[in-house]
Amino acid sequence: MRKPLIAGNWKMYKTSDQAVKLASGIKGSLKSFETADVVLCPAFTVLNAVYNVISDSSLQLGAQDLFWEKEGAFTGEVSPIMLKDCGCEYVIIGHSERRKYFHETDETINKKIKAALDVGLKPIVCVGETLEEREAGKTIEVIKHQLTGCFAGFNIEDMLNVTIAYEPVWAIGTGKNATALQAEEAHRFIRTFIVEKFSQGVANTIRILYGGSVKPANIKELLNEKDVDGALVGGASLEVSSFVDIVKNSI
Task: Give the nearest distance from C-beta 199 to ligand 13P in angstroms.
Answer: 28
Q: Does 9 bind ligand 13P (CB under 6 A)?
A: yes
Q: Does 247 bind ligand 13P (CB under 6 A)?
A: no
Q: Single out the residue of 145, 211, 132, 209 nearest to residue 178, CA to CA.
A: 211
* Active-site entry in 104, 167, 184, 225: 167
Helix (H, G, I), strand (E, B) or coil at 61: strand
Sequential DSSP letters for 119-183: TT-EEEEEE---HHHHHTT-HHHHHHHHHHHHTTT--HHHHTT-EEEE--GGGTTSS-PPPHHHH
Spell out, one character per residue from 43 to 62, where the chain touches ligand 13P: x when CB under 6 A holds, - when not. --------------------
Among 40, 121, 172, 222, binds ligand 13P (CB under 6 A): 172
Torsion of CA 94, 98, 100, 104, to 10 degrees: -60
Q: Does 168 bind ligand 13P (CB under 6 A)?
A: no
Over its C-alpha atoms, the chain yields an Rg (Å, rounded) of: 17
Task: Give the nearest distance from C-beta 104 to ligand 13P in angstroms.
Answer: 14
Please check whether residue 36 is in contact with residue 3, taking contact to mean a CB–CB distance below 8 angstroms. yes
Q: Does 232 bind ligand 13P (CB under 6 A)?
A: yes
What is the DSSP-derived secondary structure letter of residue 31?
T
Q: Which region, judged by CB under 6 A, interacts with ligand 13P, from 100-108, 140-148, 222-230, 234-242?
A: 234-242
Assess whether 239 carries a catalytic annotation. Answer: no
Task: Give the nearest distance from C-beta 214 to ligand 13P in angstroms.
Answer: 5
Task: Give the nearest distance from C-beta 208 to ligand 13P in angstroms.
Answer: 14
Helix (H, G, I), strand (E, B) or coil at 4: coil
Task: CB nearer to ligand 13P: give 46 or 126.
Answer: 126
Task: CB nearer to ligand 13P: give 8 or 80.
Answer: 8
Question: How many chain residues bind ligand 13P (CB under 6 A)?
Answer: 14
Task: Give the nearest distance from C-beta 173 to ligand 13P in angstroms.
Answer: 4
> In the range 73-112, which residues lie near ligand 13P by CB under 6 A?
95
CA distance from start to end of the chain: 12
Q: Does 235 bind ligand 13P (CB under 6 A)?
A: yes
Q: How far is the CA of 25 from the CAs of 63, 83, 99, 197, 216, in angstroms?
A: 19, 23, 32, 41, 17
Helix (H, G, I), strand (E, B) or coil at 243: helix
Which residues are part of the catalytic machinery?
A: 95, 167
Which positions lie near ligand 13P, rule CB under 6 A? 9, 95, 167, 172-173, 211-214, 232-236
